[in-house]
Structure 1
Amino acid sequence: MKVLLAMPDGLQHRMFDRDQLERLAALADVDVERTAPDLSALDDAELAAVDVLLTGWGSPLVDAAALARMPRLRAIVHTAGTIRLVVSEAVWEHGDIVVTSATEANAVPVAEFALAQILLAGKRTLAQAARHREVRDRRREPPVSDRVGNFRSVVGLVGASRIGRLVAEHLRRFDLEVLISDPIVSAEEIAALGGRKVELDELFARSDVVSLHAPDVPSTQGMVTARLLASMPEGATFLNTARPALVDRDALRAELLSGRISSVLDVDDDLPADDPLWDVPTVLITPHIAGSQGNELRRMGESALEEVRRLAAGEPPRFPVDPQRLAVSA
C-alpha cells in the first residue's frame, strides 16, 4: 500500500513522533522524511502509484485534476479536523474514496479546556481576581453572591457536537445542572448525556456559564444574538471555543465592556490590537489554545495511524467523514 505524505514540509514531525513514524513505515510503503506540499509538482508515475494520501493543515486541495492523476487512490487520511480545504466535491463525486478525519482526537483537548474554564467560571474567577487585584486585601472583599460556586449551578452548552458531548460527559462528575440546546439532537439523546434539552432562550436566561460548541455553518452564524446575551444573569460567563462568526460581536463587546458578564474567548484571532476588550479584566482572551497543541498533536497523529492500519488490514475506518453531514459539521 503506497502512502504519500501530502502536507507541508516538516508537518509530519509535528503530527507524529519518531515511534509513530516508524510504525507508519512498517505499515505501508512510505517515505516518512519526504512530503508533497504541491501535488501538481509530482510526476505522473509517482502519483499513479499512490493508494493513500496522508494530509494535514495546509495540505493541497485534492481536486478533479489531482484525482485524474491518481487512479489507485482509495483513501484520504486527514491528521487534522475539518477537511473542507483539502477534500473537493470531486472526491465525494468519485464515490469510492474513503475520507477520514482526526476530529474526534482534536475534540479531546478542546473539551478539557472548556471543562477547566467552566469550573473556573463557576467560581467567578475572573471577576474575583480582578476585584482582588484592585483591593489587595481579602478582609476588604465584599461577600460573594450565593450564585458563586459549582454546587447546583447551571451550565448551558450550545451544541451537542463532538466537543459538546465530551464536555457534557465530563460535567456528569460534578453537582451541576446541565442544559443543552441543539436543534437536531433529540431530548432522549441529550438526557443520555446527562443534560436537559432546552431552547436557546431558556439556556441563556438560566445559565451561570454558557459554553459555545456549535459548528460554523451558514445556519449558525450570528445565532448568539444581542437579545440572548442581554438575557444572561449578571455575573455569568460566556465561553467561546467555537468560532466568532456565531456571535453578534458588537453586542458581546457592549455586554463585556459594561462589566455585567465575563467571558473567555479563545477563537477571536482577528481581534484588533486596539480593541478595548484587551483591557477588560473580566475578559480572558487566549490565542486559540483550546485545540490540539504541542504533544496533543500526536493524539491526532495516532488517530490517523490507526486509520492507516485499518486500511492495510482491510478493516473499516474508525472515523470516516460522512459527506451528508458536512452542512451541519465544522
Structure 2
Amino acid sequence: MSSMPANEGVILLDPHPRRIDRIFDEPTKRRLERLGRVLWHDGSLASAEHIDRHLPQAIALIGQSPLDKARLDRAPHLRAVFNVESNFLPNLDYAECHRRGIPVLSTAPVYARPVAEMVLGMAISLARRMHEADAALRAGREFKGDNHDSFLLSGKPLALIGFGNLGRALLPLLRPFSREILVHDPWVHPSVLREMDVIPASLDGCFTRARVVFLLAANTSENTGQIGRRQFESMRQGSVVVLASRAALVNFPELLAVAASGHIRAGIDVWPEEPIPKDEPGRATPNTLLQAHRAGSVPEIQPLIGQLVVDDLENILAGLPPQRCQRAVLETVTKLRSIPVGAWSLSDTRRP
C-alpha cells in the first residue's frame, strides 16, 4: 500500500441504508472534510462505476461497497473501511484486507447501550407481566393485584449468551439485581470472564440455572439454530428468555411452542424474516412480549456513528490504531452470518 498525503486523498461515502444527515452532524462533517476530499454520496447505493472511478485515490471507504481482491488492487492508498450499517457483512475480502493492513471497522458499539436498556426493560415486564396487565386493564379485565406468578429479578441467577458489545453493555445494568451472573461465549476465554466478575458457564448450564436468559450472541456458522426446545424446557417454569441479537440463534418455532405451552415467557425483538410477515405465528403466541427489531433504534445515538468513524480515521491517518469502532478479527469474522434483508455478497460488484 503506497502512501498519499491524507488531505490529498478521497474519502468515499456509500452509507446506504444510513442517511448522511442522520449519522454525521455538522461539526463531524467539518472534521471529516479536514481529513481528505469527501465525496458525499447519499440516498441510494453508490454505482459500481462511481466506486471504481474513485478507488485509486481513496484513503477511506465509509459504507458497505463490495470490495473483492480485484477492487482492492485498484485501491493502493486505502487506509480503512468503515461499515456504518453496523454489521460485518460478507461484502469484502477480509483476509486480503488483513494482509494489506487495512482495518475493517464497524460502528456496532453505538447500539449496545440502547439495546441493553431495552432488553432489561423487556425482562422486567415479562417477570412482572406488566405488558399483559396493561392490556387487560385497557380491555376492562384488570388483574386486580393478581401477581401469583410474578417474580423479582433481584437475587436471581441471570445468564448472558454472548458477551460482545451488547453483553458488556448489559452487564453493569444487571449488577444491582444479582451477584450470580452466568456467561456463555465460546469466543471469550473463561479467565477473561472471571476477571470481569461473572461466572463462565456452559450453554445448557445457563438455561438450567438462570431465571432470565438474555440471548445476545452474533449469529455464526457454529451456532445457527443451536438453541431450541431442550434448552427452553430445561428452565424453571415461568422463566424468561429475551432474544435480542439474531433470530437464527434459536429454533424459532420451538421457542414459540415452549412459550405457547406456558413453560417460559419470551421477549422477542428479532425475527427470522424482516419485515415481519403478516402471518408470522409469533404475532399470536401467548406468553410473549414482541418488538419489531427496534431495541437499538433511538434517534439520539445516530450521530455517534459519524463521530466514531471520524475519531478512528483521525487516529489511522496519524499512524495510530483505531480505538472507537469494532475491528474485524480475521479469526472470527468469516464465521459471522449477519446478513440483513437486502444485503449483498462479495460477488455483487455490479450495483444499481
Normalising by structure 2, report the TM-score: 0.81
The match for 1:182 among 180, 185, 200 is 185
Indicate conservation of the 8 Å contact 2:123/2:267, yes or no.
Answer: no
Equivalent AA in structure 2 for residue 322 of structure 1: V
Quote the residue 1:155 is aligned against. Answer: 158
Quote the residue 2:13 is aligned against. Answer: 5
1:32-181 to 2 correspondence within 5 Å? 32=40, 37-38=45-46, 40-42=48-50, 46-55=54-63, 59-89=64-94, 91-92=96-97, 94-129=99-134, 136-139=141-144, 141-145=145-149, 148-175=151-178, 177-181=180-184
Distance change >3 Å, CA 221–CA 169, structure 1 → 2: same
Higher helix share: 1
Indicate conservation of the 8 Å contact 1:92/1:323, yes or no.
Answer: no
Instruction: Tell me by how many angstroms 1:114 deviates.
Output: 1.9
Quote the residue 1:246 is aligned against. Answer: 249
Equivalent AA in structure 1 for residue 231 of structure 2: L
Distance change >3 Å, CA 315–CA 119, structure 1 → 2: same
Percent of residue pairs bearing the same amino acid type:
26
SS in structure 2 of the partner of residue 311 of structure 1: helix
Quote the residue 1:262 is aligned against. Answer: 265
Indicate conservation of the 8 Å contact 1:180/1:198, yes or no.
Answer: yes
The match for 2:237 among 229, 234, 239 is 234
Quote the residue 2:26 is aligned against. Answer: 18
SS in structure 2 of the partner of residue 47 of structure 1: helix
Q: Are 1:312 and 2:317 counterparts?
A: yes
Indicate conservation of the 8 Å contact 1:256/1:283, yes or no.
Answer: yes
> Which region of structure 1 is more displaced relative to structure 2, 299-308 or 1-10?
1-10
5+ residue gaps, structure 2:
1-5, 339-352
| Alignment root-mean-square deviation, CA | 2.8
Query: In structure 2, what is the Cα distance between the partners aligned to 1:43 and 1:267?
Result: 32
Quote the residue 1:288 is aligned against. Answer: 293
Query: In structure 1, what is the Cα distance between the partners aligned to 2:112 and 2:316?
Result: 23
SS in structure 2 of the partner of residue 284 of structure 1: strand
Query: In structure 2, what is the Cα distance between the partners aligned to 1:248 and 1:188?
Result: 30
Instruction: Tell me by how many angstroms 1:69 deviates.
Output: 2.3
SS in structure 1 of the partner of residue 267 of structure 2: strand
Instruction: Tell me by how many angstroms 1:239 deviates.
Output: 0.7
Instruction: Tell me by how many angstroms 1:61 deviates.
Output: 0.5
Indicate conservation of the 8 Å contact 2:122/2:289, yes or no.
Answer: no
The match for 1:326 among 333, 342, 345 is 333
> Which region of structure 1 is more displaced relative to structure 2, 29-38 or 67-76?
29-38
Instruction: Tell me by how many angstroms 1:211 deviates.
Output: 0.7
Normalising by structure 1, report the TM-score: 0.86
SS in structure 2 of the partner of residue 148 of structure 1: coil
Distance change >3 Å, CA 44–CA 104, structure 1 → 2: closer
Distance change >3 Å, CA 298–CA 198, structure 1 → 2: same
Equivalent AA in structure 2 for residue 21 of structure 1: K
Instruction: Tell me by how many angstroms 1:35 deviates.
Output: 8.2
Instruction: Tell me by how many angstroms 1:133 deviates.
Output: 5.8
Indicate conservation of the 8 Å contact 1:215/1:328, yes or no.
Answer: no
Instruction: Tell me by how many angstroms 1:127 deviates.
Output: 4.9
SS in structure 2 of the partner of residue 30 of structure 1: strand
The match for 2:38 among 12, 30, 54 is 30
